[in-house]
């Protein structure tokens, strides 16, 4: 393998490491939607999941392998035969399957977690790679906690797995510990000491505990790494993984410095970020690079003056290059279906005629109460009307009384398994009362982890967007709702979380182990 090729492979692990973020659990349909978006974005490899982890994970990886044909589909497996067999079963129908197997290599992990010697672990790493290679020549190996591993032992392990057949060797900074210069030196060291290193692609996988995941990934690229593992919006275990959009735009914007290209179609970055936020309910901080609400907002007068004279004075990349249209004001109540349909296309949505019809009906309802409809409003409608999941629970009506003299009371009617049920709830405020009514009607009592309200656009007539996170079985499940009335939006978000939770349970039940 010629590691000097001027191309960096983008390995996306949003569906595996990203899904390990608190609150990021996704159901099968949602994972498929993300995988299709990643394909559209042009990622080289999708790590679709960890099939041994649960039947739901297995099924999702299998379905993605069947349906998403352009990128390579990787499945994660610990370095043992059972995990590897299960991973292969999940991806064997992929156009280009990859098995990604890993074992810890640092003395801390060996002593306290694995309770094994270096020699034992080296043997297991080789055996795992050999077993995976019997299924496919496309095998990736990761020595977990590589950056806290003795460098010479790491070299021995990398050399051994390449000799056994691994075609990609990933160097993970599992606990986000290393510093960019140091990581560059480690990659140099591997290239100097590992005799067969040019037979494999060297990959990096950085966590963001010290806020250095992107910087470390880029340092590694500068020193010879040719695959970067990352996630959309940087979601992932603890402080997250390297953010894909940041890695890609750094390589793109500073081609002069790095001299590499990726296969990413950068104009799909923003939509990918928004899709993930909608599905997981995990918001992006406003000052987040590339995809944050303020990433291209210029507040200071001096900057604005410069921009008017010449964009490049203060803009190192254009919003358009990452898919931010810049045209926010769209339509009003006199706009017809054709105009709405054309605008949805411009925003990047490929919808069927039936979907456009549903979106248009909601658009008309909203246009009656809100003068101007913005891109963000249309986006919220698309997510509610087109991308909705099967609903066990539906809101029929909600009436809330609140104020500083009455006890906040919510009277509510819902459909539960096709039957109409009604009840009332009291609370310390209108939202609390609404959630109490929902709990009574659905006979559920999940712990509420998070409740966040934001305005989709400016103005008091803006859609209120609510995100609710419920705790279920040690996992957290998000739901969202968007309505001009924030109490109704809150009810919809809570009900959406309950439906998503049912869906997650269903994924697990539906599984037929192959």
Give the binding site for Zn ion (CB under 5 A).
Answer: 17
Q: How far is the CB of 140 from Zn ion (least distance, A)?
A: 13
By the rule CB under 6 A, 71 interacts with ligand KIV: no
Q: Hey, CA dihedral for 14, 18, 20, 21, is it positive or negative?
A: negative
Residue 366: which of Zn ion, ligand KIV, none does it interact with, CB under 5 to 8 A by kind?
none
User: Dihedral of the CA atoms 91, 92, 96, 102 (nearest 10)?
Assistant: 50
Strand order in the sheet with 419-426: 393-401, 409-416, 419-426
By the rule CB under 6 A, 65 interacts with ligand KIV: no
By the rule CB under 6 A, 83 interacts with ligand KIV: no
Nearer to ligand KIV, 50 or 472 (CB): 50
Nearer to ligand KIV, 26 or 400 (CB): 26
By the rule CB under 6 A, 140 interacts with ligand KIV: no
Touching ligand KIV, residues 183-222 (CB under 6 A): 205, 207
Structure tokens that stand for 165 in this block: 């057949």
Q: How far is the CB of 479 from ligand KIV (least distance, A)?
A: 27
Q: Indicate the helix (H) or strand (E) that contains 75.
A: strand 72-78
Looking at 36-44, 170-178, 277-285, 286-294, which segment touches ligand KIV (CB under 6 A)? 170-178
How many residues are present in the chain? 514
Q: Rounded to an integer, what distance in angstroms lies between the CA atom of residue 179 and that of residue 63? A: 38
Q: Rounded to an integer, what distance in angstroms lies between the CA atom of residue 293 and that of residue 269? A: 14
N-to-C CA span, the chain? 35
Q: How far is the CB of 417 from ligand KIV (least distance, A)?
A: 40
Structure tokens that stand for 135 in this block: 């299924």
Structure tokens that stand for 491 in this block: 């009810």
Q: Which of 85, 84, 89 is nearest to 66 (CA)?
A: 89
Structure tokens that stand for 218 in this block: 């880029």
* The only residue of 174, 402, 434, 442 in contact with ligand KIV, by rule CB under 6 A: 174
The upper half-sphere exposure of residue 123, i.e. CA atoms within 13 Å in the direction of its Cβ, equals 5
By the rule CB under 6 A, 57 interacts with ligand KIV: no
Residue 102: which of Zn ion, ligand KIV, none does it interact with, CB under 5 to 8 A by kind?
ligand KIV
For Zn ion, which residue has the nearest CB? 17
Nearer to Zn ion, 17 or 483 (CB): 17
Strand 393-401 with 409-416, pairing: antiparallel
Nearer to Zn ion, 17 or 140 (CB): 17
Q: Give the DSSP letter string of 51-65.
A: TTS-HHHHHHHHHHH
By the rule CB under 6 A, 502 interacts with ligand KIV: no
Touching ligand KIV, residues 10-29 (CB under 6 A): 17
Looking at 168-176, 258-266, 374-382, 486-494, which segment touches ligand KIV (CB under 6 A)? 168-176
Q: Rounded to an integer, what distance in angstroms lies between the CA atom of residue 72 and that of residue 69? A: 8
Nearer to ligand KIV, 230 or 437 (CB): 230
Residue 464: which of Zn ion, ligand KIV, none does it interact with, CB under 5 to 8 A by kind?
none
Instruction: Specify the 3-state DSSP secondary structure of 387.
Output: coil
Positions touching ligand KIV (CB under 6 A) are 17, 102, 142, 144, 170, 172, 174, 205, 207
């Amino acid at each position: 393998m010629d590691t000097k090729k001027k191309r960096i492979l983008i390995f996306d692990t949003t569906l595996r490491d990203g899904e390990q973020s608190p609150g990021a659990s996704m159901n099968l349909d949602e994972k498929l939607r993300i995988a299709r978006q990643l394909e559209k974005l042009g990622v080289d490899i999708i790590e679709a999941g960890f099939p041994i982890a649960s039947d739901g994970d297995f099924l999702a990886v299998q379905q993605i392998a069947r349906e998403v044909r352009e990128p390579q589909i990787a499945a994660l497996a610990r370095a043992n035969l059972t995990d590897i067999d299960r991973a292969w079963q999940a991806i064997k129908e992929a156009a280009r399957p990859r098995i990604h197997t890993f074992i810890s290599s640092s003395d801390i992990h060996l002593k306290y977690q694995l309770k094994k010697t270096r020699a034992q672990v080296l043997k297991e790493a080789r055996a795992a790679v050999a077993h995976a290679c019997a299924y496919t020549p496309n095998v990736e190996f990761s020595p977990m906690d590589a950056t806290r591993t003795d460098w010479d032992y790491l070299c021995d392990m990398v050399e051994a797995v390449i000799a056994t057949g691994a075609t990609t060797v990933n160097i993970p900074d599992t606990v986000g510990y290393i510093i960019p210069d140091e990581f560059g030196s480690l990659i140099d060291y591997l290239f100097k000491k590992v005799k067969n290193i040019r037979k494999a692609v060297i990959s990096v996988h950085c966590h963001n505990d010290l806020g250095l995941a992107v910087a470390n990934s880029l340092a590694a690229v500068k020193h010879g790494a040719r695959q970067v593992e990352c996630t959309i919006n940087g979601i992932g275990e603890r402080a997250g993984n390297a953010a894909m959009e940041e890695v890609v735009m750094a390589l793109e914007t500073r081609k002069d410095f790095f001299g590499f290209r990726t296969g990413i179609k950068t104009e799909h970055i923003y939509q990918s970020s928004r899709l993930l936020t909608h599905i997981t309910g995990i918001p992006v901080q406003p000052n987040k690079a590339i995809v944050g609400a303020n990433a291209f907002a210029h507040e200071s007068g001096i900057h604005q003056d410069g921009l008017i004279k010449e964009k490049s004075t203060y803009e190192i990349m254009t919003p358009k290059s990452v898919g931010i249209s810049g045209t926010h004001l769209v339509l009003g109540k006199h706009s017809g279906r054709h105009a709405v349909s054309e605008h949805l296309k411009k925003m990047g949505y490929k919808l069927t005629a039936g979907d456009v019809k549903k979106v248009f009906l909601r658009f008309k309802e909203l246009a009656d109460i809100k003068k101007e409809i913005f891109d963000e409003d249309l986006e919220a409608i698309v997510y509610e009307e087109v991308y909705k999941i099967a609903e066990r629970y539906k809101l029929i009506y909600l009436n809330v009384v609140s104020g500083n003299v009455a006890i906040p009371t919510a009277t509510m009617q819902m459909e539960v398994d096709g039957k109409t049920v009604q009840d009332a709830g009291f609370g310390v405020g209108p939202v609390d009362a609404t959630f109490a009514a929902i709990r009574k009607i659905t006979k559920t009592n999940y712990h509420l982890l998070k409740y966040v309200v934001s305005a989709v656009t400016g103005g008091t007539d803006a859609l209120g967007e609510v995100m609710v996170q419920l705790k279920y079985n040690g996992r957290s499940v998000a739901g969202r709702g968007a309505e001009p009335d924030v109490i109704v939006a809150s009810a919809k978000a809570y009900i959406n979380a309950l439906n998503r939770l049912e869906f997650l349970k269903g994924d697990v039940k539906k599984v037929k182990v192959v």
